[in-house]
Amino acid sequence: MKLKLHTVSPVHIGTGNSLEPFEYIIENGTYYRLDQNKAFGLALEKHPDFPDKFAKWLENTSTRLQKANDNAEQARIRAQFNFRYFCESVLQDSDLADSIIEKGYAYKCPIPFGLDGKKQIQELIKNPDNTPYIPGTSIKGALRTILAWRAFSNLTENEKTQLMTKVLNSRQFRENKGKDLDTPIEEELFVCGIQKNTRDGIKTDFSDIKFDILKFIHVTDAFSESAEMAVYPANLYLTDKEPQSQTPALETIRFNSSFNFEISINEAEFRKIYDISAKTNTEKWIDLPKKFKRMFEFYPHEIPNGKLEEKIVESIKYAISDFYKAQFNRESKWLSSFRREVLVQGRKKSNANIDGIKEFYEVYEEIPIMFKIGWASGFHNTTIFDVLVSNEKTKPFMEKILAQFKIGIPQNKRKDPNVKPADISKFPKSRRLAAEKLNSPIDPFGWVAFLYEDENLELE
């Protein structure tokens, strides 16, 4: 089925690459990402000794940064750590910098607020022609969290308690292996069983990911013919403390960009396996009907042939809507708890102005089919945290997990035995937001609307 994602706020899905100041030029509100072959070729054409001078400049500047005695000196050196400065001060050729801006860049986009003192820029994932796209894996990963949230919600109270007890009794919990802590949950919600011969006889194993329900659902990459990029600085905002500027600037997909993608299912293959799994003596895909019903809230055999894909997408839309409402309520609580003034060394000081963020959630409350994707999605958008803490029987399990793994505790305080676990009612306390200035956040990151192909969304 053909669908759309429409960006409602800036979206960043990164490559993992941090761009240094000598890899870009900023000029008159425009960010130019240098094409090293083109830019260095232009430099080499005019200055045969360019490679040696450039390498020496990089080395010397890095050494100066390391030896700098204070923040002011570091800031001054960083301000000079860019390609235009090198052209003008080392090569003494300002015309070269202008030429590179004209001919030596890979792509360009607006940088409306500058970098607000930041130097590194996180690179956005792009096509070979440097146009942005949204990977199908990112879309499916976000939808997987939403479907897990729903499936867990549909467990009985007893099933929820048993599953969380299993998590706390797991080797992952005892050995502090947080990366694999959700394995029992994944197996219960997504993975169907297969009978295996063991020393103790035939047992049902739910650990083989080849029997994951979502293997039948295929999500393509999302492409756009008109999506634009922009670079925004980002900062960390807390309800009761001053904003923190350690987060980088980001290449992003701009607000109001539309991407086309598809969700498909091989219905014939799925129905064949479903029919086999429904038999009482099945050896594979054990519990498929039960787990499918939990996740999509219907049984496939209730749907006419040829309509299953449509029904699954419709079910996903309803799940997104329910999930979004929970996230919207959480963001509203966070915003309402935001203090206008904070104490800094015993003195009251104005906190950041979050009126723009409040306005975002007020304006877009009427778009219920939204979810977050990519950078800054946050703990509660990438886990089933909300459904765990909203239930009085499972909330204590989540409190134990936060305490065991010291989630929400700053890295430099995690070894302190006197540090109290994070307050689950206020966790997570921080948000990473796009900013005009440190004290002026303007947008959250990552929100996209989920639309049918023929739907349009007009945003201002």
Concatenated DSSP letters of 410-438 = -GGGTT-TTPPPP-TTT-S-EEEEEEEET
pLDDT of amino acid 346: 77
pLDDT in tens, 181-217: 888 999 999 999 998 877 777 788 888 999 999 999 9
pLDDT of amino acid 118: 87
pLDDT of amino acid 19: 93
pLDDT of amino acid 102: 92
How confident is residue 154, by pLDDT bands cut at 50, 70 and 90?
very high
pLDDT of amino acid 133: 97
Asked if residue 427 lies in contact with residue 408, where contact means CB atoms within 8 angstroms, the answer is yes
Average pLDDT over residues 121-148: 96
pLDDT of amino acid 66: 84
Average pLDDT over residues 137-158: 96
Mean pLDDT of the residues in the chain: 91
- Is 419 a residue whose pLDDT tops 90? no
Look at residue 258 and give its three-state secondary structure: strand
447 bridge partner residues: 372
pLDDT of amino acid 129: 94
Q: Which of 38-42, 251-255, 364-368, 453-457 has the highest mean pLDDT?
A: 251-255
Average pLDDT over residues 302-307: 95
CA dihedral 430, 433, 437, 438 (to 10 degrees): 10
Q: The whole model's pTM is what?
A: 0.92
Dist CA 348 CA 346 (whole Å)? 7
Average pLDDT over residues 236-265: 94
How confident is residue 73, by pLDDT bands cut at 50, 70 and 90?
confident
